[in-house]
Every structure is written in structure tokens, then in C-alpha cells.
Amino acid sequence: MSAPTLDRSATGSPDEATLQEQFDATIAADRRIEPRDWMPEGYRKTLVRQVAQHAHSEIIGMQPEGDWLLAAPSLRRKAVLLAKVQDEAGHGLYLYSAAETLGADRADLTDKLIEGRQKYSSIFNYPTPAYADVGVIGWLVDGAAICNQVPLCRSSYGPYARAMIRVCKEESFHQRQGYELLMTMMRGTDEQRAMVQDAVDRWWWPSLMMFGPPDDESPNTAQSMAWGIKRHTNDELRQRFVDMTVPQAQALGVTLPDPDLAWDADSGHWRFGAIDWEEFRRVLAGDGPKNAERIARRRAARDDNAWVVEAATAYARKHERGAA
């Protein structure tokens, strides 16, 4: 929030070197930076980009699964999916709220998303042609998101870290409902099992790409880690995800589509094959199967509902406190 400040200091504001020193000391002591603290411009901008795009990903992330709301096979599955999609909207709003403490503005961020000037996660540019995709998104995509987000609960920026704590609590339900859905299908017919395996085949590699390019192609990771915005490197998180997921795949009875996947007893990690970064770059650049559709739908949601925003504003003005 940007509340007005009662300035009682007689000495005026401290110089920038002193402010930088105080900021560095707060980071070094692993304490949190709060909204109205002085912060370096680079720190603020990095956070706005990261938090805004995290928010965009949650909002766009409603679409691939939202397509299944009416087609889910039972009332129970519809209720679960509806709760999940509603959570994604909530996560987006927690994050826009955090971004606004940095001087960003929600309506403006939405415009930037629709204009393609800010991005969202490329994972949501893949299609969801089968109901098993709902389960696999919960298991793999939300599982990968949890790997990313749990360390962010300790992010150096207070409002972001607090938003992440709320998000992580809710993601756990997302992952478990997905895995349970897949277990149910795996106990079903051959056709259902094949549907699950096909969905796993399509989502496994994009899920690994969610962690971003390898560390040697991420030149700014060091700065983000020094600022306490980022807590682990991309490769560390990806390895953690693979190690967690392989036993889950075994328990489920599906095969992960990687012939090079092998247990390495020396390191205690699962080794995996090479990731197709060309595909990642293509999808990120806008050439994924669903990029245009996702943005068109978000644009329609904004434009088609603009009259609701205007009507509510007009009603509020008319009934303003103290108005005659």
C-alpha cells in the first residue's frame, strides 16, 4: 500500500549510500524488505517483472483446465475443478496485490499482458485435449510450480513471500487432486490408462522446461540470489522435481518418456536426458499451439466485461459516502 507518511524527521532524508547500506544490512541479516522501505531500482524492477509475470501465469493458467469445467465426468469432479480454477484466480490476485506494493498497477499490468509486452509461463500454451490432462497438470505442472514456489516463501520481499505462503498451502490441494484423478483412471479401463500415459508423454518435457534454461545460460541468477529474490538455481530446482516425481510415476504405473532416465547411486539423483530448448524458445516467442488463443480470451474477458466495471463505478459514485 502507498499510505501517506508522517515525516517527523528534522534532519531530512539520508543519502543514497546510507540507504543502500541499510538495505544491504537487511538482506544480509535475512530479514524482509517491506513495501515502503528504500530499495535499489534494479531490485524493484526485477521484482515487478517477476511478480507480475507470476500473476499473469496464474490468470492465464485458468484457461487450459477451465475448458474441462463443463465436461468433467461427475459433479464431484466438476466441484473440485471449479475450486481449483477459482484458486488460480485467487493466486493471480494475491500476486497482483503484491506487485502493486511495488508501484505497479493491476489494470496496467493486465494491459501489458494483453499487448504481449509482459509474458506468462509457456506451459499454458499447450493444449488440453483429454480429461487426463487435468490430472497431469495437477500432478506435474502444479508439482513443478510447488518446487519453484516453496523457496519463494522465504523471498526477501515481504509481500511476495507472504503471497507465496498462501499460494503454497493451496497448491498442495491442486497437486493431490490431480494425482488422485490419475490413480482413479489408472484403476479403470485400458483406454483410460492409455489416456493417462499419453497425457504424461505430452506434459513431461514441458514441465521440465518450466524451471527455465540451464544455469550457464542464466547470467542474472547470481544477482537475484544475492538479493534473496531467488533461492535456488534453475538446475537445482529441476533436479529436485525429477527426484520427487520419478517414484510418484512408479507408484502410478506410468512411464516417463525419457529413455535416458536412470538412477545414479553415486550422487543419489535421477539422471535425465537432454531438454529440447529450441521448443522452449519457440513457445516462449509466441509460436506455441495456444499462444494466440490464450491472449484473445483474456482480451475478450477484459473488453466484454468493461461495462460491468463502469456500471459498478457509476453506482458507487452515486452512493458515495457523504453524498446527498
Partner 1 sequence: MSEVTAEGGHGAIPTGPEVPVQPRARAVQRDWPLYEVFVRGKRGLNHVHVGSLHAPDDEMAIDAARDLYTRRNEGVSIWVVRAVDITASSPDEKDPLFAPSGDKVYRHPTFYEIPDGVPHI
* Span 36-65, contacts to partner 1 by CB under 8 A: 36-38, 44-46, 48-50, 52-54, 57-58, 61
Nearest to residue 76, comparing CAs of 6, 146, 177, 148? 177
Nearest to residue 146, comparing CAs of 196, 211, 87? 211
Nearer to partner 1, 104 or 185 (CB): 104
Footprint (CB under 8 A) of partner 1, residues 116-145: 117-124, 141, 144-145
Which x/- pattern, by CB under 8 A, does the window 61-90 give for partner 1?
x---------------------x--xx--x
Q: How many residues does the chain have?
A: 324
CA distance linking residue 252 with residue 254, whole number of Å: 6
Q: Applying CB under 8 A, which of residues 128, 148, 156, 177 lies at the interface with partner 1?
A: 148
Nearest to residue 106, comparing CAs of 51, 34, 145? 51
Footprint (CB under 8 A) of partner 1, residues 233-272: 234, 237
Query: Which one of 31-39, 71-79, 185-193, 266-274 is the stretch in contact with partner 1 (CB under 8 A)?
Result: 31-39
- 3-state SS, residue 157: strand
Q: Applying CB under 8 A, which of residues 184, 192, 218, 255 lies at the interface with partner 1?
A: 218
| Residue 12 interacts with partner 1 (CB under 8 A): yes or no | no
Query: What would the DSSP string read from start to end of 40-66?
Result: -HHHHHHHHHHHHHHHHHHHHTHHHHH
H or E element in which residue 270 lies: strand 269-271
Q: In the chain, what's the furthest Cα-to-Cα distance?
A: 78
Nearer to partner 1, 101 or 128 (CB): 101
Q: How far is the CB of 132 from partner 1 (least distance, A)?
A: 20
CA distance linking residue 201 with residue 269, whole number of Å: 22
Q: What is the DSSP letter of 229?
A: S
Nearer to partner 1, 81 or 186 (CB): 81
* Chain centre to alpha carbon of residue 178: 17
Q: How far is the CB of 29 from partner 1 (least distance, A)?
A: 11
Cβ neighbors of 106 (< 8 A, separation 6 or more) are 96, 99, 100
* Chain centre to alpha carbon of residue 17: 35
Query: What would the DSSP string read from start to end of 272-297?
Result: -----HHHHHHIIIIISSSHHHHHHH
Q: Applying CB under 8 A, which of residues 35, 66, 158, 257 lies at the interface with partner 1?
A: 35
Nearer to partner 1, 73 or 127 (CB): 127
Q: How far is the CB of 222 from partner 1 (least distance, A)?
A: 12
Nearer to partner 1, 108 or 293 (CB): 108
Footprint (CB under 8 A) of partner 1, residues 277-306: 280-281, 284
Nearest to residue 153, comparing CAs of 163, 138, 144? 163
Q: How far is the CB of 257 from partner 1 (least distance, A)?
A: 19
Footprint (CB under 8 A) of partner 1, residues 153-212: 159, 162-164, 167, 170, 209-212
C-alpha cell read off for 312: 459498478
- Give the binding-site size for partner 1 (rule: CB under 8 A): 96
Query: Which one of 66-74, 107-115, 187-195, 244-252 is the stretch in contact with partner 1 (CB under 8 A)?
Result: 107-115
